[in-house]
Every structure is written in C-alpha cells, then in structure tokens.
Amino acid sequence: MNKTIPEPDQTLRARDREPHNRLQKASDHYKTQYIQEFVAKWDELIDWNARGESEGDFFIRELKKRGAHKVLDVATGTGFHSIRLLDAGFEVVSADGSPEMLARAFANGRRHGHILRTVQADWRWLNRDVHGKFDAVVCLGNSFTHLFSEQDRRKALAEFYAVLRHDGVLILDQRNYDAILDEGFKTKHTYYYCGENVKAEPEHVEDNLTRFRYEFPDGSEFHLNMFPLRREYVRRLLLEVGFQTFRTYGDFQETYQQSEPDFFVHIAEKRYETEPEKLRS
C-alpha cells in the first residue's frame, strides 16, 4: 500500500502550528470558566459601591480629557464600567465574549435605568461583530490576560486599533504580574475586587499560567486561568501595533514603585504626533 509522506517543510509547518493551536484553545477557555453560578457572584466579588469609591472618576476624567464621547467597552463583564460611563453621559456599546456576562450586564443596566447596547464578540474578530468607529476602547478588569498566545494578543490589539477613530484612545488594565512572578502575591484588596469576605488569590503561578481561586462566604469556589503579562511586554505590544503615545498608571497614580501597585492601567493613544513621546511611565 502506497503511503504519502509529507514534505519536510509541511511536517515542520504542522508541528509549528501545534503550540499555537493549543494556546488558541487556552484563549477560548474563559468561555467555559464563566459559568452562570460564577457570573451570579461576580458583583459580590467586585462590590460596585466600594469599587466606585476606590477608582473615583479616573476613567471618566481621562476620557473627557481627550474629548471622547463614543466608547466601546470590550470587556463589559456584569456592566460596572458601561453603566458608570452611561451615567457620565458617554455613548457606550458593551461587548463581551461571554453571553452569561452580557445577560447579567443587561439586567444590571435595567436596574440602573439604562438599556445597554450589548454585542457578543470575540476580540480577535471584533470588527466583524462591532461596526462603526469609536473615540475610545476600554478593556478593563484584567480581561486581556485571558489571551494565551502572542498571536491572539497582537490580533486583538490590532482589532482595537482598527475600531478607533484616527485620534482614538485605548485604556487597558492588568494585574501587576511582575510583582506576582518576582516577589509572590500580595494585595491591598482596595481597588478592583472589593467584596467583603471574598478571597481572590493565585493557587498556581508560573511564567505562562496563573490560576486564580475565588472563594465566597457561602463556601463556593471558582477558578480562572490567566496569562501573567509583564508590564513592559504589554507596552511593547501596544507600540508595535501602532499606538503613538503611552502612559501607565499604578493603582490610578502616575508615580509609583514598580512592585507596589496591585494593578496597572495603560492609556495608549492612536493620535500621531510629529515628535511622539512614545513610552512614558
């Protein structure tokens, strides 16, 4: 029986694709992790009132400073930031990859007097599902770390870039994984996950995977897998995708020691300057 033997370069190409295919599947894994029971407890984890007090008007102020009006929230979750932006007078489209999260966000919007314009969308093909141009894209809640392959991260950032107007801005946050990887986990439990008696901490940490465990007062427990993105790596990706100027805040402050903040917030602008400042702290 004749057996077709693949050409060596074909074999190599297939082998090269295998790691990316595994990472691509890992990027899709969040869809199975945000089960309805976990989504139902997400607001308990965040504590909207405490989180609102901790971040103040930081995002609203930064968006207004840049004249933004039309905002795409690509990591809507249960709607916290979409609703705050609507309250502040912005026009908002709320996107998420999880239908359970969007359903919860829509219900939360109704309770706050808003009808959210929701879209289920995968960031890697964002412009397929979301139409029009926006003044700003916000990707908050440590959501970008759900992408496990560099190709997926580059594709998502390129989609964010493409949906922005010529002078648009991207606001993207992340945990301080540098501190977690280099010094171990510690948290002030002040800014993002503010719920009383709720624990959110890693149970496994390595260079390409951080597995967080979420424990609630009723004894329920849930897990999320995330890729531990280093600060400078994210900033480099933003630059290479085409954003012109950057500023990174630590826990909403401009001045900070690298290991101190729980979270970083990157503000990347598409606006072209004749002598761009590029990367700023």
Q: Cβ contacts of residue 231 below 8 Å, gap of 6+?
A: 174, 176, 177, 178, 248, 258, 264
Residue 239 burial (10 A CB sphere; 0-12, 13-18, 19+):
middle
Top-level class of domain 11-269: alpha beta
Residue 42 confidence (pLDDT): 78
The whole-model pTM stands at 0.84
Instruction: Read off the amino acid at residue 101.
Output: M
The DSSP 8-state label assigned to residue 143 in this structure reads G
Q: Cβ contacts of residue 198 below 8 Å, gap of 6+?
A: 44, 45, 214, 215, 216, 217
Structure token digits, residue 219: 């004894």
Which residue in 255, 265, 264, 261 sits closest to 186, CA to CA? Answer: 261
Residue 27 confidence (pLDDT): 52
- Residue ranges per domain, the chain? 11-269
CA atoms within 13 A on the CB side of 187: 17
In tens digits, the chain (281 residues) has pLDDT values of 443 444 444 334 444 444 555 555 555 655 556 566 788 887 888 787 888 888 899 999 999 999 999 999 999 999 999 999 999 999 999 999 999 999 999 999 999 999 999 999 999 999 999 999 999 999 999 999 999 999 999 999 999 999 999 999 999 999 999 999 999 887 655 555 556 678 888 999 999 999 999 898 889 899 999 999 999 999 999 999 999 998 999 988 887 776 689 999 999 999 876 544 555 55
The DSSP 8-state label assigned to residue 253 in this structure reads B
Sheet of strand 209-215: strand arrangement: 199-206, 209-215, 221-226
